[in-house]
Amino acid sequence: MRSKFETITVERRDHHILLITLNRPDAANALNTQMGLDLVELFEGFSVDLGGLRVAMLTGAGTKAFCAGGDLKQRNGMTDEAWQAQHLVFERMLRAILACPIPVIAAVNGAAYGGGCEIAAAADFIYASDNARFALTEVTLGIMPGAGGTQNLPRAVGERRAKELILSGLPFSAAEAEAWGLVNRVLPPDQLMEATFAIAGRIAGNGPISVRQAKQAIHRGLQMSLADGLAFEIEAYNRLVPTEDRREGVLAFNERRRPDFRGK
């Protein structure tokens, strides 16, 4: 995995946790083509080699913005062809985040508008600072959400609430996002990263194969009938039975110690 990118920073924490920071603070971490390419490279790489990682955390540089959405300065004057070519990058970025085999936790530390809101909604769950704001403002610009907003937001907050938010383009607070089901927890800004690292550490300490299989069973199962989802769950479960981690987990419980999971 490459450690240096133009628009994002990556930092390992405790070996198993990767902190990914959207790093264009002078532009409110707005999503430009290069950031899309950087995120594509990083997240698609996880499908090939996790390098021991068990959790990815995603946040924005600075204290004011997680990601202000698509970089409209870069888009000003774009031809239709250039716009569509850029959007293909963003589509691939979204799919790469959704396909990430390990949990992705968004720590939303400020404005998450447009594409920024869509990136956050693509994470497995969200912690947010109490000064964070969310919005899908695309219809106010004559476009519409095109990086998962019309799919992930309704799955989080329900169809009627999502229609209200997407069709109006109105912003909403972190407290509202929590009440509606988009955000899991709201914290003071100075506690956001500590709390997010705490839950990431808790997840990273569990059986890594178990976590990955459970994530897939939840995500894919929700797109199936209950009967098909149950069948998928059992297939995921059965892959864990012959693992060393399953045996280690039971042994550690009986020996009254913390398990030493190896991901095998």
Write down the pLDDT at residue 135: 97
All structural domains of the chain with their residue ranges: 8-204, 208-254
Is the domain spanning 208-254 CATH 1.10.12.10? The answer is: yes
C-beta neighbour count of 242 within 10 angstroms: 8
Name the residue among 148, 141, 19 with its Cα closest to residue 95: 148
Low-confidence ranges of the chain (pLDDT < 70): none
Chain segment 162-181, per-residue pLDDT in tens: 999 999 999 999 999 999 99
**Residues 234, 214: Cα–Cα separation, whole Å:** 10
Is CATH 3.20.10.10 correct for 8-204? no
DSSP string over 144-212: ---SSHHHHHHHHH-HHHHHHHHHH---EEHHHHHHHTS-SEEE-GGGHHHHHHHHHHHHHTS-HHHHH
Which residues make beta-bridge pairs with 163?
A: none
pLDDT of res. 114? 95
pLDDT of 204? 95
Residues 191-224 have pLDDT tens digits of 999 999 999 999 999 999 999 999 999 999 999 9
Both structure tokens of 130: 């109490």
Catalytic residues, which ones?
A: 118, 138
Q: State residue 180's pLDDT score.
A: 97
Q: What is the pLDDT of residue 3?
A: 82
Tell me the C-alpha to C-alpha distance, in Å, between residue 263 and each of 11, 119, 190, 235.
21, 28, 33, 18
What is the pTM assigned to this prediction? 0.92
Burial of 26 (0-12, 13-18, 19+ CB in 10 A): exposed
What is the distance between the terminal CA atoms of the chain, rounded to a whole angstrom?
21
